[in-house]
Homo-oligomer: A and B are copies of this chain.
């Protein structure tokens, strides 16, 4: 089944302790769409400016992503510039230029509105809500968010939480939102705010999935080197949603969600191996299957105790 994704498309400048790169294809929707596209057709809602390179447009189109819902507006594309410190865990935003995003009013094309699976990738929660209000009766809605919205748009975020089936966020964001130190308490508290499911990302420590009286701990892939963490969370969300949609609207259960979390983790683990979407440009379905099999072995142990 197809997935509707709304999010940002950006041009990024990224500096790591090793290298600095400019004008990279970025934004939550770019990563999420490409990741979801491995498993399901993607209908994208986003906005770009006049300066958005044709090569990036063609890359997304070449991935089978439907760009009919992507507005091309007068002005410049959204720009983000960030720097990762020596440990690759700490990120500093150097600059943000909203540009065409500033007046973005997402409009969902008519024939997108019946989508059963919706991924509200990371953008302002009021924009996520605007998209959701245009949908007919989606079977499963997933929202991603970030610390910025917890800090500056919490009322809208809390309103959004009542309308989604699943929230994706990272550990520090979960603690910030709930004021709980224990991640287990934090996950459960977020469920009480609306979403039946919560995926709590922990970076190098994997991911926790909270369901209705169910729980899953997804291990992290043991990477020695991370080249660029940008977009890992968006890739995770996209892979997860795309996989879930591929199973169909009658198979949205905790077992499918667990596998979806692993698929998202597989794609995210590839994504951080190079800048921007460079690694995903080369990843094929067989690579996903191969690392998926590795994930199975990561946490498997002999079932028999004497």
Q: Closest residue of chain B to A296, judged by CB? A: B303
Given contacts A217-B219, A219-B217, A222-B215, contact A258 B184 (CB under 8 A): no
Count A interface residues, CB 8 Å.
47
Q: Is the CB of A299 within 8 A of B182?
A: no
Would you call A18 an interface residue if the criterion is a C-beta within 8 Å of the partner chain's C-beta atoms? no
Contact A224 B182 (CB under 8 A): yes
- With A298-B215, A298-B216 given, is the CB distance from A184 to B306 under 8 Å? no
Please report which residues of chain A, range 289-306, place their CB below 8 angstroms from some CB of chain B when the two chains form the complex: 289, 292, 296, 298-303, 305-306
**For the complex, what is the distance from the CA of A206 to the CA of B204, rounded to whole Å?**
12
In the complex, the answer to whether B181 meets A247 with C-beta atoms within 8 Å is no
Task: Verify A88–B181 contact, CB threshold 8 A.
Answer: yes
Q: Which residues on B sit within 8 Å (CB–CB) of A183?
A: 204
The answer to the question of A263 belonging to the interface, with a C-beta cut-off of 8 Å to chain B, is yes
What are 5 residue pairs bridging A and B, where the CB atoms are less than 8 Å apart in the complex? A183-B204, A205-B205, A217-B220, A217-B299, A258-B301
Given known contacts A87-B181, A217-B219, A259-B302, what 13 new A-B pairs fall within 8 Å (CB)? A86-B181, A188-B224, A205-B205, A206-B217, A216-B299, A216-B301, A217-B222, A218-B299, A219-B219, A246-B306, A259-B301, A296-B301, A299-B299
